[in-house]
Amino acid sequence: MGQCCAKGAVLSDQAPQSTSFSNNEAAPGRSNDNSSNNHQSAAKSPSWVPTTPVAGDSNNGSSYAASPFQSPLPHGVPPSPSPSGTPGRKFKWPLPPPSPAKPIMRMMRKKGQTKKTPKQGPIPEDEEGGGGGGGEESEVPLDKNFGYPKNIAAKYELGKEVGRGHFGHTCWAKGKKGELKGESVAVKVISKAKMTTAIAIEDVRREVKILKSLCGHKHMIRFHDAFEDGNNVYIVMELCEGGELLDRILSRDIVLFAEQRLNDIVGSAYYVAPEVLHRSYSVEADMWSVGVITYILLCGSRPFWARTESGIFRSVLRADPNFNDSPWPSVSAEAKDFVKRLLNKDHRKRMTAAQALSHPWIRSEAQEVPLDIFIFKTVKSYVRATPFRRAALKALSKGIPEDELVYLRAQFELLEPKDGHVSLDNFRAALTRNVTDAMKESRVIDILHVLEPLSYKKMGFEEFCAAAISTYQLEAHDGWDKIAKTAFDHFEQEGNRVISVQELALEMNLGPAAHSLLADCIRTSDGRLSFLGYTKFLRGVTIRSTNTRPR
């Protein structure tokens, strides 16, 4: 870097030559003791002219100084004089070496650049083969020993393949001994080579565990046994030869999760809920899957379809199911309402399992509706709400349609009210009687601590309806406009009062930035909530979801 690679220059009466300097050499004319003489000689020298090499002269083979870099030109071909060179320079010696700042900065920039990871889109693609990424994680061996018997060949004779999935295939088999001797079964073969993460291994363990726990249900496929060897895991199940879901065979993959938000994409693409693709979901995703199954059983086609898995995911996020083509015009209004309220992209507006069992399309007087965990959550919110919000919810309960009251009455009776009222003891006793493993793993027990205020008061059915309803679910109802109008009329008579924008924002847990959004919620005539303000107050307003851009 200390060498000079500038063009050489000669006096008109001198032979052309080129000069180079190393880092440890002092350039002639640059020393302190003869600097003045050099300046004087430079001033007296005639104009400098670029020279061209003379053929056959080794000393004048190039007009350029020696360079550590190889010339890109062929041997003996000199570079052309730079048209941007300074004409008529008055200096005897070439220009000083270029500043090392630029090469150093270039080197630092190149060194500081890191390889950018590919941008993760909102729609996940096929991740097969990407689970066993490199680095330190790949060095940690995975325990792929499940503890299952390893003698499947002694009990079953495997036959031809009858189906193939993402992580394995299913083949026909015949029992050799035991209770299934001579019977045909289906064996799902899951390759251990594709279990590249600890999560994938745990998924297989959980699948076998769930199949065992559901074994014996008359509407579920029968599970027989599980085996393994060094390469595969074998799950022996009942052989269903009638077809698949489009042939009226339900999927066994739809199971309830624990009461917690999950963040992994699992399940078939056709049944996956929108919130699963956003990697934050809970039991509401199962109700979406029930809606997809019901849609297919009613019309014989899938509500969301594309040629690729990523295309299906895009359809789930953006498209709406088709209820116009045949046979939907001939399907009952109650059946369509059932499917629509399950295939709502907003998981807060979806029916729960208990609400679906209370729906007029499938409701049965002989079947008891189970206790809904959702009731405990809504009552908890009601107890912690302000008096103004409780008044708004009480008014909303006045407009509840009859089909919704059936569900609320069933839940109220499960609490075993005394003299038409319930208290904290009723909630605690009902939870003890109907507790499940999912409830134990969730934080439902902790909700009872929030309901402590009910220890000092009793709640009748009318107030219970106000505490148990969900504004989001009522919004998904076909008669929401009528429900909201009826509720607002009651609110005008009983609960509406003068309120300022600041107080309304405080009631809705919003900051000063939301005051402009709430200005149209209060009537200028009397300072009370308008119909628009009432619905916003029930639903809630977030600045992020509000589009304030002009159209």
pTM over 0.95: no
In this predicted structure, the answer to whether residue 455 has a pLDDT above a threshold of 80 is no
Look over the chain and give the mean of its residue pLDDT values, rounded to a whole number. 75
CA angle 278–279–280, rounded 5-degree value: 95
In this predicted structure, the answer to whether residue 221 has a pLDDT above a threshold of 50 is yes
Residues near 490 by Cβ (< 8 Å), separated by ≥ 6?
394, 395, 398, 399
Cα gap 236→476, rounded to integer Å:
42
What average pLDDT does the segment 177-202 reach?
A: 90
What average pLDDT does the segment 464-480 reach?
A: 91
Q: Can you name the residues that pair with 236 across neighbouring β-strands?
A: 187, 225
User: What pLDDT shows up at residue 350?
Assistant: 95
Residues near 68 by Cβ (< 8 Å), separated by ≥ 6?
3
pLDDT band of residue 215 (cuts 50, 70, 90) is confident
Reported in sequence order, the residue ranges of 67-197 that DSSP labels E, i.e. its strands, are 156-164, 168-175, 184-191
Record the tokens describing residue 411, joined without a space.
């839940």
Residue-wise pLDDT for 378-403, tens only, equals 998 898 888 999 999 999 999 998 88
- Altogether, the residues listed in the chain come to a count of 551
501 sits in the region (left: phi over 0; alpha: psi -120 to 50; else beta) called alpha
Cα gap 296→249, rounded to integer Å:
10
Between 437 and 300, the more confident residue is 300
What average pLDDT does the segment 432-448 reach?
A: 66
Block residue for tokens 């199940």 = 237
Q: Which amino acid is at 5?
A: C
367 sits in the region (left: phi over 0; alpha: psi -120 to 50; else beta) called beta
Between 2 and 524, the more confident residue is 524
User: What is the phi/psi pair of residue 31, to 5°?
Assistant: -75, 160
What average pLDDT does the segment 452-477 reach?
A: 88
Between 237 and 546, the more confident residue is 237
Give the count of beta carbons closer than 10 Å to the beta carbon of residue 540: 12
What average pLDDT does the segment 446-468 reach?
A: 82
Cα gap 118→131, rounded to integer Å:
15
What average pLDDT does the segment 229-244 reach?
A: 86
Identify the three-state secondary structure at position 139.
helix
Annotated binding site for ATP: 188
Annotated binding site: 188
Q: From edge to edge, which strands make up the β-sheet containing 232-238?
A: 156-164, 168-175, 184-191, 232-238, 223-228
Q: Which amino acid is at 474?
A: L
pLDDT band of residue 71 (cuts 50, 70, 90) is low
pLDDT band of residue 457 (cuts 50, 70, 90) is confident
Domains contained in the chain, CATH given: 1-96 (no CATH), 152-241 (3.30.200.20), 269-350 (1.10.510.10), 373-475 (1.10.238.10), 497-551 (no CATH)
Record the tokens describing residue 154, joined without a space.
């002694």
Residue-wise pLDDT for 82-95, tens only, equals 554 555 554 555 55
